[in-house]
Every structure is written in structure tokens, then in C-alpha cells.
Structure 1
Amino acid sequence: MFLSNRHSDYHMPLDPADAETLSVKAAEDVERHLLHRANHAPTPLRTLPILAAELRVGAVHIKDEGFRLGLGSFKALGGSYAVIRLVREDASRRLGRAVDIADLRSADVRAIAAGMTFACATDGNHGRSVAQGAQLVGAKAAIFVHGGVSDERVAAIARFGAEIIRVAGTYDDSVAEAAQVAAARNWIVVSDTSWPGYERIPGLVMQGYTAMVREALRQLPRPPTHVFVQAGVGGVAAAVAGHLALVLGDRRPTFVVVEPARAACLLETARAGRPVKIEHGEPTVMAMLECYEPSLVAWRVLRRVADAFMTVDEDDAVGAMRRLARPAGSDPAIVAGESGGVGLAGLVCAAADPGSRVALGLDEASRVFLINTEGATDPERYADLVGMPPDDVATTTKGADA
């Protein structure tokens, strides 16, 4: 399914609040925060010339977030950043002085953090980020997980000392339960999706993702002409598209939002022209993207700066995982989890369809940027789908990486 953006806000400037959230100044604050993280390092940019030739485009570059902050996912940038920002802000109010990132180890700030509990719902990766952020500052974390979250991913969250609260139903059910319980217990919800009256904290989560875009723009030899980014509720897609639009202006790339066909809440929202909650159906293998209602903040951004919305099928996603694990020729191998290669799956589908190529202006001169949003965050599941364990996937660069 492919749908061009026809919203009346398309090509309009970002809402002022979103422009501030996703601005260069805000991204610089995130990067300054990262400099104080012990295991921070820019994630690699992979270049795949053989794949580009196969798809009849000029270049394919993939930002590999499987190496991000020890969590193996871009989500490490969002939830933990929001938690740390909120602790700094609360400590500043209570201590009557500005609390910088360098002050987080001080006894008075940690005493304040110890009385704070951060809650969220998760498919796995966001919960790990919130739990890690809470552990870093000495706060508590309560993570709500629905029935579709694997035991491996739950255990990965629990390793950061978080309380795990299981919820029957879908991700959206866990979001509702987290909000209800947190309100009753005076916990702070750090969600990566937003709803009426709850926008600032999801905005901080999205702000955290802008650091990934800043890194990529420094690593790329030239700005991309096309970007394909996967979406669940839309947070990372909106952060990437919005920041690129602000930085590149009229030179911004054509931006395509890619979703599972079984959980395409943004495509259906774009079709309706307003936020749509879709029916829960058969689960998708793209577990991190199995969301049935869009983030309001993300939609507000995407309706202005996304050029198209498309879906991919289950086999497309698994095929992208396998293609990245077993590259052709000199292309580097990449470990991409079930949701990590969905942007590539979208590019492959679009490149093979003459109508989509024309609609998007894809040709032999196109420079395509993708994000591998997660590595093998569930190694057993990865091995089942790819046919080999992630540790056996070669990561040789052969001079093709930045």
C-alpha cells in the first residue's frame, strides 16, 4: 500500500512548539547530554553500493543503531534522555538553582531522584531506555508490558532494576494502564506516544532521537535525497523528518513513512486526514512497530513534512533482515532486528514498483538514507527468522563504513 501525503498542512512550516523541540539548539543539548554517558559513541553509518546497484539508486546508507548505548536500539536516545531531563528540572526547582547534567552524581540531586518513579508502556526497547535512565540517576522505574513482549525482552528491562507490570491485551492497552496506575500513584509517565493534554514528555523523547540525525548528517558524504523510516506510533519518523526539514529547508529529502501492513495506523490516519485508531488484528513480526493509534505530536509533524506513507508485509520485513545479514559482494553485514530493517523493506518495495519510483522520484542518482533502528534485541527470535544467530553475522566493513 502506498499513499502520497495530501493533507492540507502538507509543506506548511512546523508548529512552533515542534520546531523548538526538534531544532538544532535542542539537538545540541541532547548531544551535550550524551557526552556524559560512559558508553556513548556515535553509531556507524554503513554504505551498501551493491544493494544500491540492485535497487537502481545512486547510494544506500544505513545508520546502524544496533550499537547505541549498550541497548541495541535507537530508543536508548529517547526515554533515558527524557528521564534525565525531568530529574534535572525537578531538582532545579527544589534546590533553587540550575542543575546541569554534570550535577547528577551529587548527593542532593540523587536524593531527589530517589523519590521519583518513572513509568511507561513498552514493546521492549523504550522500556529498557526508561529503566536505564532511571538507574543512571538513582530513580525508580515501573515498566508496563503487554502479552506480545517476549520473555527475553522483559528480562532485558528487568536487568536495570525496573519493576515489571504485565498487562493483558495490546501495546495500546498497556499505554492506558500505565497512565491510569501512574496517576493513582503519583508516578511520572515517560511515554513515546502522546494524547490530548500529554505532549511535552513525548516531545522530549523525540528530541532525544535528533542526536542520531545530527550524527548521520556529519557522516554522510552528501545530504540524502530520499529517507525511508519505519513507524509505530510515529515518534522516530517525526523526529527524523522534522529535524531534516528544519536543517535542510528547501533541500530536505523526500521522506517516506513505512509501517507493517497489519498495524498501519499512520497510513490510515493520513488517508482519513485525522488521527485514527485502527482495529487490532493478527500480530505482526515487526513487534516494535505493532501500534494501532498514532502519537498526536508525531502526526502533527508528519502531516507537514512526510511525503508518503506505505506498508510492507511480513515477508518483506524478514527478507530485509536476511538481506542485511547475508550481503552481496563487498556490502557490510548488518544485524537488524524484526523492526530494524523495515525502512529497507519499504525501499525495496518502492524501488521495484514503477508507479512508486515515479511518485517518489527514485532514480539512479538518488541518495537513500535508512536507519537500522534495532539490532537483535531478542537473539533467539532473530536466529529463528534469519537462520543464524546474530553473533555469527559478519560485521566487516571492507572500507564501506563511516
Structure 2
Amino acid sequence: MLFANPRATRCTYPASLQDVMSVQAAHESRDWLSRWEHLSPHATPLWQLPGIAAELGIGQFWVKDESTRSPLASFKALGAPIALVRLILRLMPHESFDPKGLIQGQYQERLRDFTVISATDGNHGRALAAAAQSVGCQCVIVLHANVSTEREAAIAEYGARIIRIKGNYDESVQHTADIAEQNGWPVVSDTSYEGYETVPRDVMQGYGTICAELIEQTTGDANAASPFTHVLLQGGVGGLAAGISSYLWEIYQEQRPILIMVEPHQADCLYQSAIEGHASKATGSVDSVMAGLACGETSPLAWRFLETSIDFFMTISDEDAVTAMQRLARGSERDIALVAGESGVAGLAALQWLANQPQAAQTLGIDHNARVLIINTEGATAPTVYTQLVGESAEVVLARQHQWQLKHSV
């Protein structure tokens, strides 16, 4: 399904939004995290895939590959740790902690009795657990019924205490809030709700690193025109999309690229928000193979940025996502093979659907002149699930990727 957002605007980036999230704060977050052992010191790859571009009938197709950002294999490694660092700085100003020293574990003795808690679909919880382990504090993670045991084990590997509930993601968020209140633990969540916006803001701000790298890897000049005409962003509660869209909007102002939101059919909270004109809930079952996007309620804070920056909202099927995973994994003579998880391929899945819907593609301006970017937000964060969906393991795909690089001297 496709919905043209009547509230999308081409005005300059509003001061009211810049007071909440800004390029300057994003760069500060990037600098603080530069010392974290779980982040690569190098930018994640930006791949151009001409073979897929030809299949889609577009000019250029680019993939920003966040699967290599960290051993955590997800873009969430940029959000949770910076939110934890900023939370500690706010709660303990008398300690005069150095932000970089915090993430390097220089104050572990002073923080060993400090506990944070969060609900998660998997990737955010894993990143928070790893950050808490580095900082030296305790971490409690609440998982809902649809989170795989494989993802649970990956979180527990970083020393987090796991609490399981029978409900869905939104119920796990409420359960987390209840436990936090009972114990006096601060919540480090990537979704906002009434009275809780500062930490989700910090999480979203961390994602600005992706945009900073994109500019460095293309024009190298923030004053130049956008190298992309279209950017497709994953849904979920809206945090990633808000972090990316706000940065692009502030940099490119009225000339920002066309921004397209993509969600599962059954987890369409942002699509419904666009229709209703306010942060809303999904109309479907929410359960999706795209685990990271299986969210039923829009983050109100994220919606403040998305309401006027996202030009189009789309929904896709689970089958669309699996097909896109298999296409990226397969590669070709012209295209490097990529390991992309279920949620990481949402943008490509939407483009493949549009390739068979010429009128819809025309509405979006997706044609032979389009220069399109998607963000592969995760690798094989659940290796068994990845193998089942793709038909081969991530290791096999990475071996094919390596052979392609050798052949093409990349």
C-alpha cells in the first residue's frame, strides 16, 4: 500500500525541531562514541549496485551497510550507548564523568550498583547490554513472546538479566515501565511515551553518524546538493527514520531528498499515523518476520519529525522482505553479495514492489533518473532465522562477498 503524505513540507528545518535534534548534537555523539570498543573505527560501506538498479529501472541504487558497524551487527549500536552515556551524565552531574571515559569503562567501580532497564525486539537490547557492560553498570532487558531464543542468548551474552513476558512489544514496554517504577531504575528505551522523551531523543540523535558518513563517502561537502534523490527508511516506532530525516532536512533544507517510509503490512503504525494526522497504532497483528519493525505504536517524539518530513508511506509483505534478502545475498557479476537481515531489506522490498507498479513508481518519481539509497540496518542478527529465510548461511554469503571483492579488486 502507498500513501502520499499531505503534511509533507519543503520548508527550512524548523527551529522548534532543531532545539530537540540537531546536526551539531549528532556530531558530538559521534565523537563520544568514537572510543567504544564495540564500534568499528571506520565508516560502514556504501555500496553501489548497478545490477539491481537496472532490474529496478532506476539510475543508481545505493546500500549503506550497517551490518558491519559493530560485532552487534546492527545500527542500534549507535543509539543505545550514547543514550546510556547521556543518561548517566544527567543523573550524576556531581561525578564530573568524562563521556569518552564512561564508554571506555573508566568508572566501573563507581557505577556497579547503577541499573538500567529496557524492552526490546532484540537489537536495541543487545546494544544496551553491551554498552552497560562497557560502562560497568547493571542491565535488565524485557523480552516479549515473539523475540527468538537466539536473540535472547545474544543479549544475555553481554551480561544482561532477561525477563520474559507473554505479550507483544508494546506490552513489554508497559511491563518495563512498571518494573522500573517499582525498583527506581531508569528506562533506556528507543520509543517515547507521555512524559518520556529525553532518552529516546538521545537514541535517535546517535543515528546521525550514518548521515555524516554518507556525506563524507559521496560529495564530501555538506554544502553540496544531495547525492540521492530518494531515501527509503524502515518504520518500527520511527526512531531511525526520525534520526536520519532530521539530519538530512537540516543539511539540505528545502532541497532534501524525497523520503519514503516502509513498514510491514501488519505493523503499520506510522502508515496509520500519516492517515490520522497524529501518532497512532497499527491495525494488524504486528507479528512480522521483520522483527525489528514489528511495533504497534508510533513514538510520539519521532512523529514530530516524521509528520512533515516523510513524503510517502508504504507497507510491504513478509514475502517481499524475504525475496529482497535473497536478492542481496545472491549478488551478481555486477553486484557484491550482502548479508541483510529481515528488517534491513525493507527499502529494497518496497522498490521491488514499485518496479511492478509503474503508476505508483511514477507518483514517487522513481524512474531512470532516480538515485536511490536504502539503509541495511542489520546483518544476520538471528543466524538460524537468516539461514531458514535465505536458504544459506551468512557465512556462505560472506564468502561469496569476499570472492567478489577479490575479483573486482575492491
TM bin (shorter chain): over 0.9
Partner of 1:72: 73
> Could you list the per-position Cα deviations for residues 342-379 of structure 1 after superposition, in whole angstroms to 9, with x for gaps in the alignment?
11111222233222222111121111111001100011
Contact 2:36–2:103 (CA under 8 A) maintained in structure 1: no
**What's the secondary structure of 1:262's corresponding residue?**
coil
1:283-306, Cα deviation, whole Å (9 max, x unpaired): 211111001110001111001100
Query: How many corresponding residue pairs?
Result: 398
Q: TM-score, normalised by structure 1?
A: 0.94
- 146-155 vs 35-44, greater mean Cα deviation: 35-44
- In angstroms, what is the RMSD of aligned CA positions? 2.0
Match of 1:179 among 177, 180, 183: 177
**Contact 2:102–2:135 under 8 Å retained in 1:** no
Bigger drift between 278-287 and 30-39 goes to: 278-287
Equivalent-residue separation in structure 2 for 1:18 and 1:290 (angstroms) = 27
Contact 1:14-1:304 within 8 A present in 2 as well = no
- Does residue 5 of the first structure (1) align with residue 5 of the second (2)? yes
Q: Match of 1:135?
A: 133
- Corresponding residue number in structure 2 for 1:30: 29
What's 1:379 paired with?
383
Please name the residue that 2:322 is paired with.
318
Aligned to 1:269: 273
Code of the aligned partner of 2:169: Y
Cα distance in 1 between the residues matched to 2:2 and 2:401: 33
Change (3 A) 1:104 1:285: closer
Q: Which amino acid aligns with 1:369?
A: L
Among 380, 383, 395, which residue is 2:401 paired with?
395
Q: Which amino acid aligns with 1:55?
A: L
User: Counterparts of 1:3-402 in structure 2 under 5 Å?
Assistant: 3-7=3-7, 10-11=9-10, 16=15, 18-38=17-37, 39-40=39-40, 41-91=42-92, 93-95=93-95, 97=96, 99-102=98-101, 109-221=107-219, 223-279=227-283, 281=285, 283-393=287-397, 394-396=400-402, 398=405
Relative to structure 1, the CA distance from residue 18 to residue 311 in structure 2 (aligned partners, 3 Å threshold; closer, same or farther) is same
8 Å Cα contact 2:264/2:316 also seen in 1: yes
Cα drift, residue 47 of structure 1: 1.0
Cα shift readout 1:199-249 (whole Å, capped 9, x = no counterpart): 111000000111111111211356211000111101101111111010111
Q: Which amino acid aligns with 2:270?
A: L
Identity of aligned residues (%): 41
C-alpha distance in structure 2 between counterparts of 1:250 and 1:11, whole Å: 5
Q: Deviations over 1:75-99 (max 9, x none)?
A: 11101111122223334x123x463
Q: Distance in 1 between matches of 2:373 and 2:286?
A: 30
Change (3 A) 1:315 1:132: same
Distance (Å, rounded) in 2 between the aligned partners of 1:252 and 1:377: 32
Query: C-alpha distance in 1, partners of 2:270/2:11?
Result: 19
